[in-house]
Amino acid sequence: MPKQEIIISKDLKQDVEGAIARCQHDRLFVLTDSTTLRLCWPLVSAFPCFKSAQMITIGDTDENKTLDSLSSVWTALQKGGATRHSLLVNLGGGMVTDLGGFAASTFKRGMAYINIPTTLLSQVDASVGGKTGINFGGLKNEIGVFNQATSVILSSEFLRSLDMKNILSGYAEMLKHGLISDEQSLAELLRFDLEELDFAELGRLVSKSVGIKERIVEEDPTEKGIRKALNLGHTAGHALESMALEKGRPVLHGYAVAWGLIGELYLSVVKCDFPKERLRQTVQFIKLHYGDPLLDCKQYERLYEFMKHDKKNEGDSINFTLLGNVGDIRINQQATKDEIFEMLDFLREG
């Protein structure tokens, strides 16, 4: 899988036009959702490179990350005369870059695509690393492929349109990157003032966070080994997210990951001797900013069922990524049902 070009943008117009020019194409398409069409498309729509672009728009929120939405994008590409030499620009959050990347990767057996992520979550996580896909059968990202975008353009201009909940959603993935990296990176993240946002400093932290993910993806692009480090917090987090979606009360991905981090750091203490003081600091930060999940012990069995469908699993075992310390990554760690229920107890009560 060829390495994708990550562009930390200082001049959005120049960077977007350059990336599109470097990717030869016969037709250009732009995918947005209904929110990014309204808030983000106006920031780039006047760029000359988009003069002849065909627009495709799908519904917003993760509830639209479905086979029906994917089919509608394929249909729009087909009606628009797209070929395998065409180019799709995904302008939006993680739902758009995941679904758009999958649409491009499968249409005509694959056409090129560029990601312009517009949320903090998509900038530090979803748009980088080549994971594409949709939700299916009530499970997160159940169907998809690994396929890198040609370019990913990261601009802090889009972050100014986000509300605090969406800032926090992305910040949870940055916390995860700090935990799997080093003490200094984690300390910077725990110190950052989320009440009075300094966008220049946030941009620096985003660049550093993306660099952590890039290094891991370059070493293991298809998640055979160390890339599983990026799943810290996600076995429990995806289960919480899937259950919320099933109940018709979806939660933002980053909130589910933040709560998943609490549970999986607790497992890290129990199984890998992760320092209790680091657990306490991180849990305190998460609870201050993300609150507590609305979790009832009657839901444990359903959460366990969701975890059994996690893509990291092998056979009937439920696999977790845990830590022995900050940066001391322990992949393929298994937990019993009793241990998982104890983890959920800690998440609910701790």
- Note the Cα 200 to chain centre separation in Å: 22
The reply to whether 168 and 112 lie within a common domain is: no
In this structure, the answer to whether residues 287 and 341 fall within a common structural domain is yes
State how beta strands 139-143 and 134-136 pair.
antiparallel
CA dist., res. 325 & res. 269, Å (int)? 9
Picking from 161, 189, 216, the residue at the C-terminal end of a domain is 161
98 Cβ contact list (under 8 Å, min separation 6): 65, 126, 131, 132, 133, 134, 141, 144
CATH number of the domain enclosing 262: 1.20.1090.10
* Residues 189 and 91 reside in one and the same domain: no
Please spell the DSSP secondary structure of 297-333, one letter per residue: GGGHHHHHHHHHT-TT-BTTBPEEEEEEETTEEEEEE
Average pLDDT for residues 217-222, to the nearest whole number? 89
Q: Does 157 share its domain with 191?
A: no
Assess whether 268 and 339 both reside in one domain.
yes
Among the candidates 136, 161, 186, a domain finishes at 161
Q: pLDDT for 44-64, tens place per residue?
A: 999 999 999 999 999 998 889
Q: What is the pTM of this model?
A: 0.90
| Same-domain check for residues 105 and 170 | no
Q: List pLDDT tens digits, range 263-305.
A: 999 999 999 999 999 999 999 999 999 999 989 999 999 999 9
pLDDT, tens digit (0-9, with 9 covering 90-100), for 110-124: 999 999 999 999 999
User: What is d(CA 111, CA 260) in angstroms, rounded to the nearest whole number?
Assistant: 35
Domain total in the chain: 2
Shared domain for 146 and 183, answered yes or no, is no
Q: Which domain holds residue 177?
A: 164-349
Same domain, 136 and 187: no
